[in-house]
């Protein structure tokens, strides 16, 4: 069975980040971990941020497939998104602490924006909004969710249902935060 080289490289990068707690993730480290040439790495990815972006997209696509299999429930989508983010919390924090942190932060926001926009379009939320209004709405929710994730205490995983439910209610306009 042929191996998916992109996934193989991504898995190696994730292992390096998890195990070595690398502050500086390098192509050299990755190719040594994979026992491949630099040329092979660069055939599949332009650079480390391109690799991380591919990894993020894979996670978002995987979550989207799972959501679609579940019937596309928006609240489930929020819960699944939070679960995915929590499962990759250590890796993401370490990646953000590397020399590529600023670039990765922007890629994460772009992927979150695309994911949320897809959910909004599929669920026909904010159907009457203009393109500009939709952009503002999506940016608002992306940065709000990023803020929730940034402040998330990994010991509070039992609250994930409550947080997902609250985000769902806010996004759909069914409830505002109580005082």
Position 155 scores a pLDDT of 44
| pLDDT digit string, tens, across residues 72-97 | 677 887 787 788 777 777 777 887 78
Domains assigned to the chain = 48-172 (1.10.357)
pLDDT of amino acid 1: 46
pTM for this one? 0.75
Pick the residue with more confidence: 70 or 124?
124
The pLDDT, as a whole number, for residue 6 is 96
Q: From residue 71, how far is each of 25, 162, 171 by CA, in Å? A: 39, 21, 19
Rounded mean pLDDT of 172-178? 62
Radius of gyration of the CA atoms of the chain, in A: 18
Q: Over the chain, what HEC string results?
A: CCCCHHHHHHHHHHHHHHHHCCCCCCHHHHHHHHCCCHHHHHHHCCCHHHHHHHHHHHHHHHHHHHHHHCCCCHHHHHHHHHHHHHHCHHHHHHHHCCCCHHHHHHHHHHHHHHHHHHHHHHCCCCCCCCHHHHHHHHHHHHHHHHHHHHHCCHHHHHHHHHHHHHHHHHHHCCCCCCC
């Amino acid at each position: 069975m042929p191996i998916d080289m992109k996934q193989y490289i991504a898995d190696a990068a994730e292992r390096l980040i998890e195990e070595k707690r690398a502050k500086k993730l390098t192509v050299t480290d990755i190719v040594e971990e994979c026992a491949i040439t630099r040329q092979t790495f660069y055939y599949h990815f332009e650079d480390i941020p391109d690799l991380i972006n591919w990894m993020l997209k894979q996670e978002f696509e995987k979550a989207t497939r799972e959501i679609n299999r579940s019937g596309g429930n928006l609240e489930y989508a929020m819960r699944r998104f939070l679960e995915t983010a929590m499962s990759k919390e250590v890796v993401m924090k370490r990646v953000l602490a590397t020399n590529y942190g600023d670039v990765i932060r922007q890629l994460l926001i772009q992927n979150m924006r695309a994911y949320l926009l897809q959910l909004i379009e599929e669920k026909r939320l904010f159907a009457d909004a203009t393109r500009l209004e939709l952009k503002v709405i999506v940016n608002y929710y992306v940065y709000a969710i990023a803020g929730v994730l940034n402040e998330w205490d990994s010991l509070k995983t039992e609250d994930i249902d409550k947080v997902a439910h609250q985000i769902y209610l806010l996004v759909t306009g069914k409830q505002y935060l109580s005082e």
